[in-house]
Structure 1
Amino acid sequence: MEGGGIYKASSSLRVNSSSLWRNNAVEVFNRSSREEDDEEALKWAALEKLPTFDRLRKGILTTSKGEANEINIESLGFEERKQLLERLVKVAEEDNEKFLMKVRSRIDRVGIDLPTIEVRFEHVNVEAEVHVGGRALPTFFSFSVNIVEGFLNSLHILPSKKKQLSILKDVSGIIKPRRMTLLLGPPSSGKTTFLLALAGKLDPNLKLSGRVTYNGHDMNEFVPQRTAAYISQYDLHIGEMTVRETLGFSARCQGVGSRYDMLAELSRREKEAYIKPDPDIDIYMKAATTEGQEATVVTDYTLKVLGLDVCADTMVGDEMIRGISGGQRKRVTTGEMLVGPAKALFMDEISTGLDSSTTFQIGPRELVLDFFESMGFKCPDRKGVADFLQEVTSRKDQEQYWARKDEPYNFVTVQEFAEAFQSFHVAWLRLSSEVDSKTRKMFIKEVMELVELTPLRNALVGLPGVNGLSTEQRKRLTIAVELVANPSIIFMDEPTSGLDARAAAIVMRTVRNTVDTGRTVVCTIHQPSIDIFEAFDELFLMKRGGQEIYVGPLGHHSSHLIKYFESIEGVRKIKDGYNPATWMLEITSSAEEIFLGVDFTNVYRNSDLYRRSKALIRELSKPTPNKKELYFPTQYAQSFFTQCMACLWKQHWSYWRNPPYTAVRFLFTVVIALIFGTMFWDLGSKAKRQQDLFNAMGSMYAAVLFLGVQNASSVQPVVAIERTVFYRERAAGMYSAFPYAFAQVTIELPYVFAQAVFYGIIVYAMIGFEGTVAKFFWYLFFMYFTLLYFTFYGMMTVAVTPNHHIASIIASAFYAIWNLFSGFIVPRTRIPVWWRWYYWACPVAWTLYGLVVSQFGDIEELMTNGNNESVKEFVKSYFGYKHDFLGVVAIVVAGVTVLFAFIFAVSIKMFNFQRR
């Protein structure tokens, strides 16, 4: 069955168990066993006589009452699927392997070989063309120059100034079927690129050379995406969907592949050999070949073996919506591919966020330690092999593993290891205002060196999964942002998640140094290595449901922890050299509690350790004599003005290095200006006819809506991302809401001003409005404040809504209303009196009023409409525009801009849509 892919992958999540076979069948019989067997045999015989298609859509299902009934596989309900899985895989950690062996036994019994894939890669090289130096930073200037240079390069006028960057260099090897291969390497070593190249999903902008084959076939001979699956290290999901819906949708999209054909052949051979399969296994395999179902038994099975059944009907969530945990979200990412028919799975850091009892423990591989020992480096007894392999190639960590004490140590480079193998086979806002600039910079430098960020000091942070820093670099930066505040107490939520062993060791060294200075650190960690686990002094262990099962000291080599749990009757002893963290999580799992018949919560609450902990808490809760209460003169470390300046500085660099927003907006403005200028060429000087006046007014009306809506729409996703960062930084006590709002509003002023000037100069000259300084500046004034209030309106809609998707929907509704009441489609004098009030509340109406009356409201020249009235009089009689009202209009337009900015600031302070 093609589902072997999912079976093999899911088996990696098992924990070895020596427990006896569990008999999950419910013995509820009202008649004799012989009668039951005879009836079931008759039903099965009738089933075997059906045509192949019908036979594969029907099965014999045992009900909760013990009755064997013929059912249609396509109509298998939720309760029936649940009972089926309860019999097959009641406890995933113990029963999953038995279930897989049953499936394999059925297939082997009729001599069917499961389809497998052998992936070969020969002399694979991946290169990228990149700018270096200052041109690599995506600033407004470099972005514009790169576009022009790229255009000239395509015309072969100017040679390319990009440099070749090698990502993978001459990589060869074989990935054999039915085996798990571990890919190790430090950050930026090309692991993700390598997996993407093998999965056929490499970025087309990268240059790939060499050969990758699947069973001898090149990539262009088949569709690799339907044969292999790449599981990303980034967990990107629709937050509003539940876990079950997410996996179900993925299963429907991927289909069943060749499972149906394999099952048809299996059924045919069993019929010829008069073999009756296990009814439950038969139903499962038939259900796994059924396409188009919203919920399938494969989805339910995947949820169970990944430990997601407890949150199957919970929304996945995201940065703003409370949902499942980070570790569960990582498993959802894996499950999305496991429910499909892929036969080769390329998994990029799938264990990030999973604890050791959930992740399959990959043991030492043959000869790898012997190889490094032959080079003079030995893995210590209490050291994980994977951790050792990551650190032994690091210049900073390599020397501690040098085993040849009689020989001098010299650093061995990665290139030398490769050759041998071939022959072998955030501080400004957080520190107190009393700290001067020199000291602050020195402290920042020290923190950067501690977390090894100095080589990346000029690198852009970027967006997760898009650009900028890698996952582990981003994690180190997050920790550094908090460390520069020099806090007394630090709460770290999974500080090592997403980090390799070396990076995690760097982080924990930094944390340990922080503790040694007298500060308190509390960490949550999913899968600690021995080194990381034993770096802590105290352990607070909880089980599912938020209940304590151990609170106390670890002791030397975790001696206190081991002594406590080994004293509990039935708990197996820890093996020599085994990771105490892994052992602890395994013996306290829910399955182990059921097996031992022990509630570890009750055991702890009845222990001396619990009583000592409670007594210590009561003692420490009492303040000591002559102690002063903590007092801070202000809530934030810096003054309001300093917060504003710091936030403005950050926004400056954020906007300057975000050309997809800033530069593209300018490009769009210039294009629109040229289109309008050529379309309404020289109409501004022609105002004698009504149609010419209407055309000139149409150019103003179209520009306001085109550019205004574009500004409002483009700023929404930018502000939404900035707001997510703001929530974290405000919670960390870096600054308050108003300095952030001030910076967000202020940074738009120069960009919108430049946009208005660019547009105004081009359009004013091409349309041919009257060439007086006063009228030109009135035109710029109204265009500037109009673009500004549209921009602030887009920001405001984000501030009052949970996300920019809802913000764009709300904003679009008002765009339509503003369009209707702008005074162009229906002039104010012709709007029904009961709706005329909204005309005065429409910002676009005031903008159009100001633009028209500033250009045509004072022209005394007579029109050629036969009514013997001047342009000024026509504008007044038809549109209701008075030139004397120009000053009031200007004040209102500026006031609307201030109003939207004020609502944005207040909303940012009052509303918090982050439900986490």
Structure 2
Amino acid sequence: MPLHCVAPTLENCSPQMMAAPPNLSEPHDKACLAYPLGTNSHSFLQRTLYPIILKFEDIAYKVGGEKKGKCSGGKSSTGEKTILNGATGMVCPGEILAMLGPSGSGKTTLLTALGGRLYGNLSGRISYNGQPFSGSIRRLTGFVSQDDVLYPHLTVKETLLFTALLRLPQTLSREKKLQHVEHVITELGLTNCRNSMIGGPLFRGISGGEKKRVSIGQEMLINPSLLLLDEPTSGLDSTTALRILTTIKRLASRGRTVVTTIHQPSSRLYHMFDKVALLSEGCPIYYGPASNALEYFSSIGFSTSVTVNPADLMLDLANGIAPDSRHEIEQCNNMEQDQQSIREILLSAYDKNISARIKIELCSSDANDYSHSKDVFRRTHTKAEQWCTSWWHQFKILLMRGLRQRRYDAFNRLRIFQVLTVAFLAGLLWWQTPTSHIADRITMLFFFAVFWGFYPLYNAVFTFPQERAMLIKERSSGMYRLSSYFLAKTAGDLPLELALPIAFTFILYWMGGLKAEPLTFILSLLIVLYSVLVSQSLGLAFGAILMDVKQATTLASVTTLVFLIAGGYYVQRIPPFIVWLKYLSYSYYCFKLLLGVQYSENDYYECSKGAYCRVVDFPAVSSVGLNHLWIDVSIMAMMLVGYRLIAYLALYRVQ
């Protein structure tokens, strides 16, 4: 039902605002950086912000069916589950809105919706200065997730510098970006740990509070007008939490719009909030100034006779537990009924006392503000979004970051030791195999095809599943194109992926006594490297499609087993109805190519004393043949391109 009211103005919202908001729907360099560029401007954190008024009305989000259920947070008869129902509010520049509620109340879901990152059955209206969410607004928005998604082997300075190089426009020089990084490090109190590694599960790095400040610093590099934080104090002690929130308060005081979720803040933290939204099972039961919350709940009969942290009282009410002066739970059997009764009282009071007032505040004088989303808010995607940096710049920075991240990776050293050890042991077992022992020499060639057909595959399946959280975080921020990330990631893996088979081939080829001709050796090496690239491509495809390491490795093990059996060595006469399997095996083509460069159709070997037989008649050779080698090369080329294309397309659905 339409409401007739007076629209809020910037002056009504916040005294910190200096100018009217720009039209954020227009693509411009300002979409890349939330402050105007100038040659003589001072510190970027003190530059003029483009203020954003965030409004959200009747936000609802359901999982399952499409029938609208009541505000119960449970499942309806159609199997749907209501995660959010009726969340409404407005945040102005200079204000901090804290969303409180017990676990599962919908705080993170609402925050994700406000950040334009929620997909699915989302309804309601969300506007940013009257505009829908777009790529321009995305680049004015900083989003700090609850989990600190950071590369463990990068230092604090490197983490922030690579973020600056990717997120700040190319109109700024590298020196200017470095100045921004240094200022953020100083501003967030990270000077003492600037050269320390982030750290991870396997080795110690900076503290949890410092990691959280690094995550905030990554978003502050773009000087966002809207800052969204999910549980910024989670897992931190009270002193560290106070430092984090003090920093956030200081950032908000400069004209930023800040929204944060928080689970159970101390009284010191609570009184730093300007507004509070309290959720219970996805439904709002309070929205308003933080300082008025106790007075409001007292006015509807929920008061307490003791001094209490307002957040504790509000969380008790959200859980259906009344303070001592209102209700005493006498029997455990009636506890659930009592809790539901209290929630109904709170919901009724919210609808009567708060809901209409909020909608009057949200009402705009321009009816066209919401004409684009009359009933349902839909996140907009435009392919014409303006990127802050060029494709080539993104590729270079991502490649450099990937190489820097892998420099201390102990797993790489373990792989080097593993490959070299296998090469030397295999060289000793096949030491200078005579040409007459053709079975052993062919087995050696098949070992080349199998080892370098399967080893890179199992390493590649880890690539994208391990990067999923980082990819979602950075792609959601519009940091880079997917194509630049994909090529940089795969190119960064090539040095080690190709260096190991080169070393392996050098060792085993000459120790095993294969054909001692330079051209034959070079061709054999190129075939092995070719097989590595194809195998890696299939592993990348498995990882990108499944995005789960366990599932991907299981699928890889089944695939390699089939390729091993159908590779042309173990089974020479495959039944006709299943013979097509060997043509799917790149190991089959690699084995055939290795045989083709070692032998020709006119070669002979000593099959018994004084008797010679044609190599092409040997069972393992005759099963694959020595002709049409260029066709095999072409088929492997199609596999190489096809598998990588599948992997690239599969990454598009990662969100």
Shorter-normalised TM range? 0.5 to 0.7
For residue 541 of structure 2, the aligned residue among 796, 800, 806 is 796
Residue 800 of structure 1 aligns to a residue in which SS? Answer: helix
Q: Distance in 1 between matches of 2:218 and 2:629?
A: 51
Contact 1:799 1:908 in 2 (8 A): yes
Bigger radius of gyration, 1 or 2? 1
Contact 1:566 1:573 in 2 (8 A): no
Q: 1:604: which partner in 2? A: 350
Q: 1:648: which partner in 2? A: 399
Q: CA deviation at 1:497?
A: 0.9
Contact 2:209 2:240 in 1 (8 A): yes
* 2:490 is the alignment partner of 1:753: no
* 2:426 is the alignment partner of 1:676: yes
For residue 561 of structure 2, the aligned residue among 810, 813, 816 is 816
* 2:623 is the alignment partner of 1:879: yes
Q: How does 1:436-835 map to 2 (within 5 A)?
A: 436-464=173-201, 467-543=204-280, 545-554=281-290, 558=291, 560-573=292-305, 575=307, 578-592=308-322, 595=327, 598=342, 599-607=345-353, 609-619=354-364, 622=367, 634=385, 636-660=387-411, 662-683=412-433, 686-687=434-435, 689=436, 692-827=437-572, 830-835=573-578
For residue 164 of structure 2, the aligned residue among 427, 430, 437 is 427
Residue 638 of structure 1 aligns to a residue in which SS? Answer: coil
Q: TM-score, normalised by structure 1?
A: 0.48
Contact 2:398 2:485 in 1 (8 A): yes
Q: 1:267: which partner in 2? A: none
Q: Distance in 1 between matches of 2:309 and 2:102?
A: 20
Q: 1:892: which partner in 2? A: 635
What whole-Å deviation, never above 9, does each CA across 1:531-574 have from its counterpart, x for those lacking one?
Answer: 3222221111112x2111211123xxx2x223222222252256
Q: Distance in 2 between matches of 1:806 and 1:624?
A: 47
Q: CA deviation at 1:812?
A: 0.9
Q: 2:118: which partner in 1? A: none
Question: Structure 1 residues 622 and 535 mapped into 2: Cα distance closer, same or farther (>3 Å)?
Answer: farther
Q: Distance in 2 between matches of 1:588 and 1:873?
A: 81
Contact 1:712 1:793 in 2 (8 A): yes
Question: Structure 1 residues 763 and 465 mapped into 2: Cα distance closer, same or farther (>3 Å)?
Answer: closer
What whole-Å deviation, never above 9, does each CA across 1:193-222 have from its counterpart, x for those lacking one?
Answer: xxxxxxxxxxxxxxxxxxxxxxxxxxxxxx
Q: Distance in 2 between matches of 1:618 and 1:893?
A: 62
Q: Distance in 1 between matches of 2:460 and 2:320?
A: 49
What whole-Å deviation, never above 9, does each CA across 1:32-62 have from its counterpart, x for those lacking one?
Answer: xxxxxxxxxxxxxxxxxxxxxxxxxxxxxxx
Question: Structure 1 residues 778 and 471 mapped into 2: Cα distance closer, same or farther (>3 Å)?
Answer: same
Q: Distance in 2 between matches of 1:799 and 1:585?
A: 41
Contact 2:102 2:315 in 1 (8 A): no
Residue 541 of structure 1 aligns to a residue in which SS? Answer: strand
Q: Distance in 1 between matches of 2:263 and 2:202?
A: 22
What whole-Å deviation, never above 9, does each CA across 1:748-777 have from its counterpart, x for those lacking one?
Answer: 211111101110110111011222221111
Question: Structure 1 residues 875 and 850 mapped into 2: Cα distance closer, same or farther (>3 Å)?
Answer: farther
Q: CA deviation at 1:636?
A: 3.9
Q: Distance in 2 between matches of 1:877 and 1:650?
A: 46
Q: Distance in 2 between matches of 1:777 and 1:465?
A: 40
Instruction: Output the amino acid matched with 2:279.
Output: M
Q: Distance in 2 between matches of 1:461 and 1:900?
A: 34
Q: How does 1:32-431 map to 2 (within 5 A)?
A: 426-431=163-168
Instruction: Output the amino acid matched with 2:527.
Output: F
Residue 835 of structure 1 aligns to a residue in which SS? Answer: helix
Q: Any unmatched runs of 5+ in structure 2?
A: 1-73, 76-99, 105-162, 329-340, 371-379
Instruction: Output the amino acid matched with 1:562.
Output: L
Q: Distance in 2 between matches of 1:848 and 1:890?
A: 12
Count of residue pairs the alignment pairs up: 474
Question: Structure 1 residues 734 and 877 mapped into 2: Cα distance closer, same or farther (>3 Å)?
Answer: closer
Q: CA deviation at 1:805?
A: 0.4
Contact 1:431 1:637 in 2 (8 A): yes
Higher RCO structure, 1 or 2 (CA under 8 Å, sep 6+): 2
Please tell me the root mean square deviation across aligned C-alpha atoms, in Å: 3.3
What whole-Å deviation, never above 9, does each CA across 1:87-140 have from its counterpart, x for those lacking one?
Answer: xxxxxxxxxxxxxxxxxxxxxxxxxxxxxxxxxxxxxxxxxxxxxxxxxxxxxx
Contact 2:453 2:531 in 1 (8 A): yes
Q: CA deviation at 1:717?
A: 3.5
More moved, 862-871 vs 636-645: 862-871
Question: Structure 1 residues 877 and 590 mapped into 2: Cα distance closer, same or farther (>3 Å)?
Answer: closer
Contact 2:501 2:528 in 1 (8 A): yes
Residue 428 of structure 1 aligns to a residue in which SS? Answer: helix
Q: CA deviation at 1:477?
A: 2.2
Q: Any unmatched runs of 5+ in structure 1?
A: 1-308, 311-324, 330-425
Q: TM-score, normalised by structure 2?
A: 0.66
Q: 1:845: which partner in 2? A: 588
Q: CA deviation at 1:715?
A: 3.7
Contact 2:463 2:543 in 1 (8 A): no
Q: Distance in 1 between matches of 2:271 and 2:175?
A: 37
Q: Distance in 2 between matches of 1:453 and 1:862?
A: 71
More moved, 752-761 vs 475-484: 475-484
Contact 1:489 1:520 in 2 (8 A): yes
Q: 1:3: which partner in 2? A: none
